[in-house]
Each structure stands twice: as structure tokens, then as C-alpha cells.
Amino acid sequence: MSDAIKAIGMPKWGLAMTEGKVNAWLVEEGADIATGDEILEIETSKITNVFESPVSGPLRRKVAAEGETLPVGALLGVVADASVTEAEIDAFVETAKAAQAEAAAAAVPPPAPELVHAEGWTARVLTMAPEAAGALPLLLIHGFGGDYQNWQFNQPDLAIDRTVYALDLPGHGGSSKVLTGADVPGLAVAVRSALAALGVERFHVAGHSLGGAIGLQLALDEPKRVASVTLICSAGLGPEINTDYIEGFIKSDKRKDMKATVEKLFADPAFVSRDMVDDLLKYKRLDGVLPALRTIADAVFAGGHQTSVFTDRLATLDVPVQTIWGESDAIIPVAHANAVPEARRHVLAGAGHMVHIEKPSDVTRLIGEFVAFAGG
Amino acid sequence: MSKKSFRQAINEALAQEMRRDHRVIVMGEDVAGGLGTPGDQDAWGGPMGVTKGLVGEFGRERVLDTPITESGFIGAAVGAAATGLRPVADLMFVDFMGVCFDQIFNQAAKFRYMFGGKAVTPVVIRTMFGAGFRAASQHSQCLYPIFTHIPGLKVAIPSNAYEAKGLLIQAIRDDDPVIFFEHKMLYDDIDEVPDEPYTIPFGEANVTREGTDLTIVAFGRMVKFANEAADLLAKQKISVTVIDPRTTSPMDYDTILESVEETGRLVVVDEAHPRCSMATDVAAFVVQDAFKHLKAPIKMVTPPHVPVPFSPALEDEYIPNTARIMAAARSVLA
């Protein structure tokens, strides 16, 4: 009978998530739910988000109480059709809870990033690889002020069939804070030297914001090495940029100011958690970060405009390019998505500049489909 | 990023600054240990092992074991700072500061002002404070209010390992004399501490909990207890802001005033003696500048006005704790 019973488990949002708090159920017991329905609001130390049902059918049992904090994978609710008895559901819940206790005892720590010594700089890189040899690797490049953790909700699922590298740009995260080049071409040189140190020849690239412009630069410089480019709320596709945000990010040194600044990145400001703001302030206090950010901002966004705009070179580029944008992006205008043909343009509603954090499953799926389409 | 103790965080801050700047030296009683003896060198690394390993990397030229004469080596550190070095002197227990008040109050604190702004005195005096160590009344006082009272001195009181590393690097790079207070009951506390050097600016309070019903201001080890109290109160649906000023000179009154304007209620937790303390100082500023926002009298949680007792039972009773903070919180909310 257990095939007729489907479990709803605590999701794992990002590498660091070990447990989540059930803030609220958004559906009633007995309701018929469909895959993708918003059924729960779950809070982690990093983020609060709605959880979309992975299964469909009548919700027979809410196992998790509102306010309860549970480990990843813990049983939250049970979906089963009318043929299943209450006793069978009781037994299912008991078995699941016992399995949960065992899993907790055998929990493995999340993968840790490594320092890669490249020519001219040291890059912090989180590598996630499938057990079997996979397809062409995928490189993820974050935006201004970000780090590899920006991809924490995307990287694990993308690494199922290929190796995925998420690196910290020079001056960012745990990478060295000394810059060898601060404009888009200079940062692309640094990324290439990191790829050389990693032994990567041909690859797909997905870049967010400034990281998109760098990805595009890599493709324009050496089109034969790049199998596809995914540009997420990307720089490099037009002159406009919200420099108030850039300046705010550099200048904010108090939690309150930083929170207000970072809220501009999201359609829903509730995404900005204490930990997110704290982590950014801690990063900005590291030696060398402020001069590095200043130098990059001055080189990449000189005079309030993007200095590297590649729109007119896209037509002749022999590498597939797609754009993914948050409809409410307040940093780079969503109109910049129009640089690519409509079929390769994805604008997601209810998301801002950090669309890969606000709509992780959509963005992961779009990247996955595109690299599969581009092949290799 | 990795987990480090408060002790390791301070050791790492010293080592990284000594590597970065050859003018940084460390001096104090047994900061290495073994000087002039055929026995084990670096036997001590300071009374709590905080400076252990430095003499191996930087040598006796930069890690100076001093005689047991605070008046002598604190004076020497102040003079070295005025003439170009950046000494970090280890005064062991703040209770011993009395014998070198002139060097600190009348010399170090005054040079910038009395030499027309042309002199700088980049000395750091690291010192242990606080009760709970079963070390009786001559080794357990807080005394930071006394140094906060003197213009020209900066006073830092880190509340955890992350704060300790960032505030100490800031202190070493600061051109003014800084008295750096290390609570002896925090040395084994562990926190996430970045491997890279970083600085935490002085005069910028840390809001460690954000709430709407009540503001708690706490210093040093008391921040830990205030956070515990806030977490327990949160379960009773009482929403508390906790503010760690980090430095008492300069002092970030703005963050406190802004919070009290929102909550209207204030508890100040200070392990120092209750008279002329940080508790009375914060309470007075809030009454002066935010009186119209207060919905209840301010409550101060402090020890009684007596020397720290040697009896363990009495000492435990003496130190403010989480339960007393919660009781004070409930009383201002009543």
C-alpha cells in the first residue's frame, strides 16, 4: 500500500542548509494539492521561502507543526488517496521518523570550497562533480559583491550529470583581494587562468550580473572553448546600471544600511535574512575588499554606465546564448534581455536581480535545459 | 572561515599584524616565558597561552618578556609607541593597572592633545578582566568604566572570538592608545572566524538580536548572557533587541537611542561595579536624549557594589546571569 502514500520532506535549499523551520502551512489538511502548489513557508538561517509541493494528491496529514524546526529530509506531510487508511498513515509516519533518526546520525558535512592557485591570483572554488565522468563542465560566475554561495540553490542540481565549478572572482569571497585587472576583459583573464589551473579546456558558462559580462567576454575571446552562455540579469548587454546600488553596497557599513541596500536585489525583500546581511558585512571587513570593490566598480561602471557592452557582437558570435531575467530587476533593466532572440529569453515574474535565489528551481531548470541543448 | 577559540582569534590577530607591519611588537610578563633560563623557551605564551608560538616566528627582538613591573613596561610601551613602534603590551590582569595609571592617564592619553596633535601613541594594552575565574577580588574586576572616563583612551571589549580578532587588528592599526579588555571566561568560546585579516571599526555597535518590545545593552561576556535571555524570551513571544557597543570609547549611543525610540524599554547589563559604570552612563544618556520615548523606568543589571567575593558560591551569586536579565526584562515590560 505504501506506493499510494507519498511523503513531503523538508527540502534542502543550498549547501549549508541542515534544518528548516516550518513557519506556516499554506494549505489545509484534506486539500487536493498539485505538484508545484505552494504548500508551506519554510525559514532557514539564510532564507525564508515558499515550498512547492513535489507530489500531488490529497494532503492527508500535516506531520510538521507550525513553528517546528526539523532537519533536511524530515517528514513534513503525507499525501495519499482515499483508499489509504488512517492506520496505514500512522505506520508510514512512524517508519519515516525512525529512518530520519538514522539519517541524522549518518549526516555528511556539506562540500567545502578549495583554494586554487592560478597565475596572478588565488581563487576559491567550490567543485561539485558527479560520481561518474560527466558531460562538459559548467562554470558559474557570480556578480559584483557576490561569491560562490550565490549559486547554493542551483549548483547541486546542476552537478548531477556534469562537473560544476562555482568560483569567487578576484577581490570577492575567499579569493585573493589583489586585482590583476579590474575591468571585464581583465577579470576574464583572471577567470581563464583559474580555468587553466583547474585543467578545464572546453566548458559551459552561466554568469550573474557582472559575472555574465565576464562569461560573455570569455566566449567572445575564445568562442571554440565555450559551449554555451547563460546570462542571468547580466551586465554587458546595455549601458544602464543602478549605480546607487553599487555605491550603496560599497559604502554601507552598518547592518541597517546594508539591509536596505541588499533589499534592492530582491522582488520580495523578505529574502534578506540577518545572516545574509551579516555575511556581507563580514566579507566587506576583510583586508583589501573595499579597495578591490572600489577599483572594480570604477573600471566596470565608470561614470554611471557599463563600460563593456557587447550587444553588437552577439549576432556574429557562434556560441548559443540565452538570457534569464527577474521581471522586477532593479539593478539592470529587464529590457537588456532583448539582446537575444525571443526564443532564448526568459523573464521570470516575481523575481528581482537575484532571480537564481528567488526562483531557484526555474533558473536551475533553464540552465540545465540550455546546456543539454547546446550539447557536449 | 573556520572555527576558532577566542584565544586563537587573538593569537592570529597578533601574528598577522606582526607579519604585516614590522613595527608591531609584543611585550609583557611571560608573553613568551623562559627568558634567561636554560629551560623551555615559550613555556607560557602569556598567563593564558594567548601569545604562545609568537616568539618562535618573530624572535625575542619582537616578543619581549618583561620584569614583573607594570609601571616599568607599560611606560616603556607608551614611550616606544610615541617614538615609532606599535607595541601590544600584555598587562595580564586589569586589576594591576593601578601601578601604571600615570603612564596611561597622564602620558599616553595626553600626548596627542598636549603636543598640538602632532604626536601619536599607537599602543595597545591587552588586559584580562571579569569574574568567574575563582581568582578573588584582586584579579576579577572589570574596571573598563575607569578607562572610558579618560579622554584620549580608546576602550574595546570584544564579546566573542569573531569580534576579538577584528577589534584587536583595528586596535593595533589605530594611532591612539587602546585598552583592550579580554574577559577571562571567554577564552575557550568558539566562533566562526575568517582566516584572513579583517577589522571591525570602533564606535559602531553590533545589534546581535533584533526585536520590538525591549532593548538590552550589554558589554563583553554579558552580551552572551543577553543573547541567551533574548532567545528564551522570544519563545515567550517577547521580542528583544540586544546591542553590543563593542567599544565604550568611542561609544555608539546613536544605535542605542534609535532602538529605544522603537521599543521604549531598556535594560543595561554591566558586569562592572554599579556606581559610575557603563550601566549608569547608558541609562543617563537615554534619559537625557530619549526620555519621551521611554514607556517604563530603565533597569540596570549589575553586581552589587562590593568587591568580587572569593567564595565560589558568593561569586556565582555576584555575577549577572541570564535569569536575572530575564527577570529585569519582565519587570520593565510589566
Nearest CA in chain B to A112: B1
Residue A273 pLDDT exceeds 90 = no
Contact A255 B1 (CB under 8 A): no
Residues 6+ apart with CB under 8 A from A133: none
CA–CA separation, A21 and A267 (whole Å): 22
Contact B210 A287 (CB under 8 A): no
CATH topology assigned to domain A2-105: OB fold (Dihydrolipoamide Acetyltransferase, E2P) (2.40.50)
Residue A94 pLDDT exceeds 90 = no
Q: Are B301 and B223 in contact (CB under 8 A)?
A: no
Predicted pLDDT at A53? 87
Torsion of CA A7, A12, A17, A22, to 10 degrees: -50
Q: Closest by alpha carbon to A126, among A146, A156, A171?
A: A156
Contact B198 A285 (CB under 8 A): yes
What are the backbone dihedrals phi and psi of residue A135, each rounded to the nearest 5 degrees, phi first? -80, -170
- Domains identified in chain B and CATH numbers: 2-193 (3.40.50.970), 206-333 (3.40.50.920)
Looking at every residue in chain A, the average pLDDT score rounds to 91
Predicted pLDDT at A81? 87
Q: What percent of chain B has pLDDT over 70?
A: 100
Instruction: Supply A28's cell numbers.
Output: 489545509
User: What are the domain boundaries of chain A?
Assistant: 2-105, 114-374
Q: Closest by alpha carbon to B246, among B163, B142, B128, B143?
A: B163
What would the pLDDT profile of A176-204 be if each residue is shown by its tens digit? 999 999 999 999 999 999 999 999 999 99
pLDDT classification of A267: cutoffs 50, 70, 90: very high
CA–CA separation, B306 and B83 (whole Å): 41
CA–CA separation, A239 and A235 (whole Å): 8
CA–CA separation, B95 and B129 (whole Å): 8
What would the pLDDT profile of B23-51 be if each residue is shown by its tens digit? 999 999 989 887 777 777 777 788 889 99
What are the backbone dihedrals phi and psi of residue B171, each rounded to the nearest 5 degrees, phi first? -60, -40
Chain B partners of A255 at a C-beta cutoff of 8 Å?
207
Q: CB A368: neighbour CB atoms within 10 A? A: 18
Q: CB A327: neighbour CB atoms within 10 A? A: 14
H, E, C per residue of B50-71: CCCCHHHHHCCCCEEECCCCHH
CA–CA separation, A326 and A333 (whole Å): 10
Considering only residues A270 and B21, tell me which one the structure prediction assigns the higher pLDDT. B21
What are the backbone dihedrals phi and psi of residue A209, each rounded to the nearest 5 degrees, phi first? 60, -120
Q: Which long-range contacts (CB under 8 A, 24 or more apart) does A102-107 make?
A: A103/A71, A103/A73, A104/A71, A107/A18, A107/A71
Which alpha helices (DSSP H) does A34-123 contain, by range?
86-105
Residues 6+ apart with CB under 8 A from A137: A162, A163, A164, A165, A200, A203, A204
Q: Calculate how close chain B gets to A282, using CA atoms only, in Å.
A: 8
Q: Calculate how close chain A gets to B85, using CA atoms only, in Å.
A: 21
A216 residue type, one letter: L
CA–CA separation, A369 and A147 (whole Å): 24
Looking at every residue in chain B, the average pLDDT score rounds to 95
- The shortest CB-CB distance from A287 to any of B1, B198, B204 is to B198
What would the pLDDT profile of A245-256 be if each residue is shown by its tens digit? 999 999 998 888
- Answer yes or no: B305 catalytic: no
What would the pLDDT profile of B206-244 be if each residue is shown by its tens digit? 999 999 999 999 999 999 999 999 999 999 999 999 999
Q: Calculate how close chain B gets to A287, using CA atoms only, in Å.
A: 5
**A114-374 CATH pick, 2.40.50.100, 3.30.70.100, 3.40.50.1820, 3.40.640.10:** 3.40.50.1820
